[in-house]
Amino acid sequence: MGSDFYLQSILPYAGIIIKICRAYTNNQENFEDYYQEVCLQIWRSRNNFNQESDWSTWIYRIALNVCLTQLKRRKKGDKQLVSDVLPEEVIDDSKVFVSDEINQLYNAIKHLSEIDRAVILLYLEEKSYAEIADIIGTNSNNIGVRIKRIKSRLSNYIQQKECSDD
Amino acid sequence: MTKSIETMWKQGFINEPHLTAPKINNLYNRKSQNMVDKLQHMFAINIKAIVVGSIIMLLMMSLIGAPWLGLYICVLLAPLVMIAKKELNKSYRLSKGQSSYDYLINFDHWLQSSIANYARYYKVFYPMFFIGMATQAIISNAGGKLISLLVQTLPTNIMLFGLPYYLVLALICLLLVITKYAEAFYRWDLNLIYGQQFKKLKELITDMEELRNEPQ
């Protein structure tokens, strides 16, 4: 991948990629693998970008596709699957982010289904329902209801965690 | 929980620069190594499968009263196992000290020469296998009855090796067809099992070549 392309077209959106990859991985090694794979896929499919959507939307879509594909591959018996099923207690999150609160939220997000994870990440990034539907590949009719349900599930999970920690 | 999910998220990322992107490194090294490892693993399993398969074949053939055919197939498969082991060992000896691109290119060259070696053997294997099966069919009770029936239906005085000439001709024609298409059949079979992996290998090499030519 040319360094110019990386610096100009990927790095400014690294935050998006990091957040998505973070939500789909459980350790630093996998996180870095996913991040690199997303960057590579963006570079590979750069010529397919037809400017009908924002570049950032394009990046979201690729990042989600890559993460979901990687997750499926690993679930199918890849030897690296072990790192995906490590219990939370032994996961080293310290290298990726520092905020405990965010870690807590990520842990809650990781308990959602793969698609719900994508929906809530896009919602939290303030994407419109139409954009979320476009990225996910569904219609926007039930996105609102779905988000409401996901938020309540996240809140319950975090509250339960807080109660059990006290 | 005092804050909303949205607030937690927003506040967590107020200082966006702390989302430091991991360095892009070693991706292709890992990818190429994984690819080669996977193929080598598949080849190793294939060798074991041939050994186990030939033993099962010997047992089954013995059970149905054709132990010699079972033994004959085992003898035919033995060189295949030896070739496969020799070829696999060659692949393990490919230098990993080069760049991942060179390593993949070398692996691909090894793969092509390996396939050519197998193809040469399969040109002998398939016809010999056919001869074995045909001989067993002819000398079996069921085969004998079938040939008698054939002679009654299409009587002839011209007999070769105790068989009606047209049956010998048909068998020779089939043998020639099998000999002619043995390599094609081997490649089709190979493609069926490894086609997806070979395609990925080619894609990875093309990808790396494209990356190498990308202006920095």
Rg of chain B over Cα atoms, rounded to whole angstroms, equals 28
Closest CA–CA distance from residue B102 to any residue of chain A (Å) = 18
Inter-chain CB proximity B207 and A31 less than 8 Å: no
Q: Report the residue of chain B nearest A44, measured CA to CA.
A: B207
Closest CA–CA distance from residue B35 to any residue of chain A (Å) = 12
CA atoms B147, B152, B155, B156: torsion sign? positive
pLDDT at A89: 33
Beta-strand pair B159-160/B163-164: antiparallel
Residues 6 or more apart from A28 whose CB is under 8 A from it? A92, A95, A96
pLDDT tens column, B118-167 = 999 999 999 999 999 999 888 888 888 888 888 888 888 888 888 888 99
Q: Which residue in A5, A37, A159 is closest to B1 by CB distance? A: A159
Region of residue B117 (phi > 0: left; psi between -120 and 50: alpha; otherwise: beta): alpha
Among residues B6, B102, B11, B180, which one has the least CA distance to residue A99? Answer: B11
- Residue in B11, B16, B18, B19 to test binding to A, most A beta-carbons within 10 Å: B19
Q: Which residue in A19, A35, A105 is closest to B22 by CB distance? A: A35
Strand partners, B159: B164
Inter-chain CB proximity A36 and B16 less than 8 Å: no
Q: How many CB atoms lie within 10 A of CB B54?
A: 20
Distance of alpha carbon B81 from alpha carbon B75, whole angstroms: 10
Q: At what angle do helices A14-24 and A55-75 cross, to 10 degrees?
A: 20
pLDDT at A164: 75
Three-state SS at B210: helix
Inter-chain CB proximity A32 and B215 less than 8 Å: no
Of the pLDDT bands very low, low, confident and very high (cuts 50, 70, 90), residue B17 is low
Distance of alpha carbon B119 from alpha carbon B116, whole angstroms: 5
pLDDT at A82: 33
Three-state SS at B163: strand
User: Is B80 or A6 the better-scoring residue by pLDDT?
Assistant: B80
Strand partners, B163: B160
Among residues A79, A86, A83, A40, which one has the least CA distance to residue A59? Answer: A40
Give the pair of three-digit tokens for residue A96: 């990726």
The amino acid that residue B59 corresponds to is: L
Closest CA–CA distance from residue A62 to any residue of chain B (Å) = 17
Tokens 């040939």 belong to B147
CA atoms B46, B47, B52, B54: torsion sign? positive
pLDDT tens column, B20-42 = 777 765 667 767 777 888 899 99
Q: Are A150 and A120 in contact (CB under 8 A)?
A: yes
pLDDT at B89: 92
Whether chain B has a CB inside 8 Å of the CB on A19: the answer is yes
Percentage of the residues of chain B whose pLDDT score is greater than 70 = 90
The number of residues in chain B equals 216
Among residues B113, B125, B118, B121, which one has the least CA distance to residue B46? Answer: B118
Tokens 């089939």 belong to B174
pLDDT at B214: 58
Q: Where in chain B are the domains? A: 7-213
Written as tens digits, the pLDDT of chain A (166 aa) is: 666 777 888 888 888 899 999 999 888 888 888 888 898 888 888 888 887 788 888 899 999 999 988 887 776 655 443 333 333 333 344 445 457 788 888 889 999 988 899 999 999 988 999 888 888 887 777 888 899 999 999 999 988 877 776 6
The amino acid that residue B40 corresponds to is: Q
Whether chain B has a CB inside 8 Å of the CB on A114: the answer is no
Mean pLDDT of B55-82: 91
pLDDT at A92: 45
Strand partners, B91: none
> ipTM, 2 decimals?
0.77
- The separation between the first and the last C-alpha atoms of chain A, rounded to the nearest angstrom, is 49
Backbone angles phi, psi at B23, to 5 degrees: -75, 140
The amino acid that residue A27 corresponds to is: N
Distance of alpha carbon B21 from alpha carbon B10, whole angstroms: 19
